[in-house]
Amino acid sequence: MGLGKTKGILCPILLGIGAVFGFATMKVGYAAPHALSVVAAENTWGDLAAQIAEPDMHVSSILVSPAVDPHLYAPTPDDARRVADATLVVANGAGYDTWMDHLVQASALPQAHYVRADAWAGWHEGDNAHLWYDLNAVADFAQRFEKACEQADPAHAKAYAERARKLQADIASVQAQALALRPHVQGMAVAATEPLFTPLARYLGLDMKENDFQIAIMNDVEPPPIAVAAFEQDLAQRKLKLLAYNVQVEEPASKRLIDLAHKADIPILPLAEIMPQGTHWQIWISSTLTQIGHLLGVAQ
Task: List contacts with another protein (CB under 8 A).
Answer: 1, 6, 9-10, 13-14, 16-17, 20-21, 23-28, 30, 32, 71-72, 74-81, 83-84, 94-99, 101-103, 105-108, 125-127, 129, 215-216, 218-222, 224
Is residue 113 within 8 A of residue 144, CB to CB? The reply is no
Is residue 185 within 8 A of residue 205, CB to CB? The reply is yes
Q: What's the min distance (Å) between Cβ of 92 and another protein?
A: 10
Q: What's the min distance (Å) between Cβ of 97 and another protein?
A: 7
Q: What's the min distance (Å) between Cβ of 237 and another protein?
A: 26
Cβ proximity to another protein, 187 vs 252, nearer residue? 252
Q: What's the min distance (Å) between Cβ of 198 and another protein?
A: 12
Cβ proximity to another protein, 129 vs 271, nearer residue? 129
Cβ proximity to another protein, 221 vs 299, nearer residue? 221
Phi first, then psi, for residue 38 (nearest 5°) are -120, 135
Label residue 159 exposed, middle or buried (CB < 10 Å: 0-12, 13-18, 19+): middle
Q: What's the min distance (Å) between Cβ of 32 and another protein?
A: 8
The candidate with the shortest Cα–Cα distance to 275, out of 41, 73, 42, is 42
Is residue 266 within 8 A of residue 236, CB to CB? The reply is no
Q: What's the min distance (Å) between Cβ of 201 and another protein?
A: 17
Phi first, then psi, for residue 29 (nearest 5°) are 55, -160
Cβ proximity to another protein, 119 vs 260, nearer residue? 119
Q: What's the min distance (Å) between Cβ of 231 and another protein?
A: 16
Cβ proximity to another protein, 13 vs 67, nearer residue? 13
Label residue 285 exposed, middle or buried (CB < 10 Å: 0-12, 13-18, 19+): buried
281-284 CB contacts, 8 Å cutoff, 24+ apart: 281/44, 281/47, 281/48, 281/51, 281/132, 281/138, 282/167, 282/170, 282/171, 282/173, 282/174
| Integer Cα distance of 279 and 296 in angstroms | 24
Cβ proximity to another protein, 2 vs 187, nearer residue? 2
Q: What's the min distance (Å) between Cβ of 213 and another protein?
A: 12
Cβ proximity to another protein, 21 vs 186, nearer residue? 21
The candidate with the shortest Cα–Cα distance to 217, out of 237, 233, 198, 240, is 198
Cβ proximity to another protein, 98 vs 173, nearer residue? 98
For residue 93, which amino acid is it?
G
